[in-house]
């Protein structure tokens, strides 16, 4: 699961915080899903070891389970049925490694999901900022004068 906390880009962060929670959460949800689908998923599909292509075909982007009582927004690249489940159950073993049943030796994982998330993280963060700004700009422009002045007062705090 990739957890996003908006840091830096002060103006964008303040604009998000000034919006109602449902709208800002929706923007963050759309942006994280876009980045996971366009950047992380193709990288994971390139990195995964392929024999028959079952694991590669089963990779998909899903909404990450959120902890109760938090405002976390997230998405994850995982197998269609979940790690260690379904036809591509072995995806979890390839990612994390396993202990060999005969001699008890540890076989290290290939970490195709985590490496896909962390490679080029700087460009992913820049894309995240650009997408959030693109979604925020029309919302700010649509506000009437009264809403806009209230919005700007909130930003000055």
**What string of pLDDT tens digits covers the 157 residues of the chain?**
444 455 556 777 777 777 777 778 888 888 889 999 999 999 999 998 888 888 889 998 988 766 666 666 678 888 888 888 888 888 888 888 888 888 888 988 888 888 888 888 888 888 888 888 888 777 766 765 556 666 666 555 5
| C-alpha to C-alpha distance for 54 and 72, rounded to whole angstroms | 31
Handedness of CA 2, 5, 7, 13 (dihedral sign): positive
How do the domains of the chain map onto residue ranges?
2-156
Instruction: Spell out the residues 6+ positions from residue 59 whose beta carbon is closer than 8 angstroms to its own.
Output: 41, 44, 45, 48, 77, 78, 79, 80, 91
Report the relative pairing of strands 74-79 and 2-3 from DSSP bridges: antiparallel
pTM of the model: 0.70
């Amino acid at each position: 699961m990739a957890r996003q906390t908006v840091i830096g880009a002060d103006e964008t962060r303040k604009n998000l915080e000034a919006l109602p929670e449902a709208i800002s959460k929706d923007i963050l949800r759309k942006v994280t899903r876009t980045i996971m689908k366009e950047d992380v998923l193709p990288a994971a599909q390139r990195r995964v070891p392929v024999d028959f292509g079952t694991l590669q075909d089963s990779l998909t982007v899903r909404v990450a389970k959120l902890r109760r009582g938090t405002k976390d927004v997230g998405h994850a690249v995982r197998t269609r049925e979940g790690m260690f489940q379904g036809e591509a159950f072995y995806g979890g073993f390839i990612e994390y490694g396993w202990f060999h049943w005969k001699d008890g030796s540890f076989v290290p994982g290939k970490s195709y999901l985590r490496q896909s998330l962390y490679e080029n993280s700087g460009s992913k963060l820049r894309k995240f900022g650009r997408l959030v700004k693109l979604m925020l700009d029309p919302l700010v422009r649509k506000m009437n004068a009264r809403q806009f002045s209230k919005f700007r007062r909130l930003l000055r705090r």
